[in-house]
Amino acid sequence: MRKEDGTNEWPLLPSSRNLGLTEEINVLTLQQLGQDSCVIVRSLPGEINYRYLGLVQREVWAEDDGKRMLKYSLVITDSEANARSQDADPATQQNVRWIKDGGLLLTLTEVDAKVVRPWNITH
């Protein structure tokens, strides 16, 4: 999903509010692949319903220095079964646009108090 100038059309973490939607984004888990990964379908309702299939994964580990790391990833994909399903009943797909590829990666790193500076709020 790109704009004409080639930039990404989507915000980093899409939500109903920053996509201008009045309804909530729907998420359905299609398959749990373990404790930390699953396949989902997400639907963003509106005049055109945007949908995508995605593999969501969470990883937790400790670096050599002991700092904990947390990583969330989402890979948007498509499948032959999904394409066949769309082709089998085109009437249900009239207002649906499937996003076929994309993704995001978010990594959080534990820091100690020396690294974080307190914010000063002035009025």
CA 19 to chain centroid, in Å, comes to 13
List, as one string, the DSSP characters of 33-95.
EETTEEEEEEEE-SSSEEEEEEEEEEEEEE-TTS-EEEEEEEEEE--HHHHHHHHH-GGGGTT
pTM for this prediction: 0.67
Residue 66, C-beta contacts closer than 8 angstroms, at least 6 positions apart:
none
* Amino acid letter, residue 121: I
CB 42 within 8 A of CB 26: yes
Domain that holds residue 62: 1-123
- How would you write the pLDDT of the chain (123 residues) with one tens digit per residue? 556 666 655 555 555 565 666 667 888 999 999 899 999 998 888 788 888 999 999 999 998 988 899 999 999 988 888 777 777 766 666 788 888 888 889 999 888 777 777 766 666
How many domains does one find in the chain? Answer: 1
| CA 53 – CA 76 distance, rounded (Å) | 6
3-class state of residue 14 by DSSP:
coil
